[in-house]
């Protein structure tokens, strides 16, 4: 989850959740993350990165963004999973940024501050990538309709019951074999 690049300012360190949440929501409205590692996208993610001081030597490292493209980019078959409010949470030592184990109790408090009464609709994922596992980053996704109103998606991500006729997955379009790919979501989307 380390998004601080050389010569880039560190995220603002907040000591209270309410102002952090307000600021993060405003920052997330600056753009939409669509999963591409382009310069502008990485700048958006840096703007959406925040630190929350839990104790003098412990911070929660947060990224709060609006994500779109899970279905239209060919990842997930169910269109209900096209867009989400995405909160990534990990914990680190101040000021070294050394990773700390995931703190479920603190993460719940943070997620509830961001998602309020909609928190129960969140999809929570543990880390997947080597970098994510190293930092113990967990992801809270609140899926939304096209107007960014939270929804509870119908069915599973790979369910085709609501998929439009003619929709094809990334691997169907690009003819990629998933036999040697270490990405369960891509394999499942290709089935």
160 belongs to a structural domain: yes
Give domain status of residue 8, yes or no. Answer: no
Place of tokens 């479920």: 104
Residue 32 confidence (pLDDT): 94
Residue 80 domain-assigned?
Answer: yes
Nearest to 85 by CA among 70, 65, 71: 65
Asked if residue 131 belongs to a domain, the reply is yes
Q: What is the pTM of this model?
A: 0.82
Spans in the chain with pLDDT lower than 50:
1-7, 181-191
Question: Is 52 inside any structural domain?
Answer: yes
Asked whether residue 86 is assigned to any structural domain, the reply reads: yes
> Looking at the 3D structure of the chain, how many domains does it have?
1
Owning domain of residue 71: 13-190
Supply the pLDDT for residue 93: 95
Retrieve residue 29's tokens: 């409205």
Q: Is residue 44 part of a domain?
A: yes
Would residue 5 count as lying in a domain?
no
């Amino acid at each position: 989850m380390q998004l601080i690049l050389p010569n880039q300012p560190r995220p603002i360190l907040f000591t209270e959740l309410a102002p952090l949440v307000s600021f993060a929501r405003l920052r997330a409205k600056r753009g939409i993350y669509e999963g591409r590692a382009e310069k502008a996208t990485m700048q958006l993610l840096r703007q959406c990165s925040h630190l929350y001081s839990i104790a003098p030597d412990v911070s929660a490292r947060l990224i709060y963004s609006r994500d779109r493209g899970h279905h239209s980019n060919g990842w997930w078959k169910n269109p209900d999973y096209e867009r989400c409010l995405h909160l990534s949470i990990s914990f680190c030592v101040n000021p070294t940024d050394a990773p700390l184990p995931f703190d479920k109790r603190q993460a719940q408090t943070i997620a509830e501050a961001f998602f309020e009464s909609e928190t129960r609709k969140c999809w929570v994922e543990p880390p997947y990538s080597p970098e994510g596992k190293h930092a113990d980053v967990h992801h809270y996704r609140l899926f939304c309709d096209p107007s960014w109103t939270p929804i509870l998606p119908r069915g599973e991500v790979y369910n085709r019951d609501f998929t439009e006729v003619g929709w094809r997955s990334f691997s169907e379009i690009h003819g990629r074999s998933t036999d040697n790919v270490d990405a369960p979501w891509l394999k499942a989307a290709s089935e």
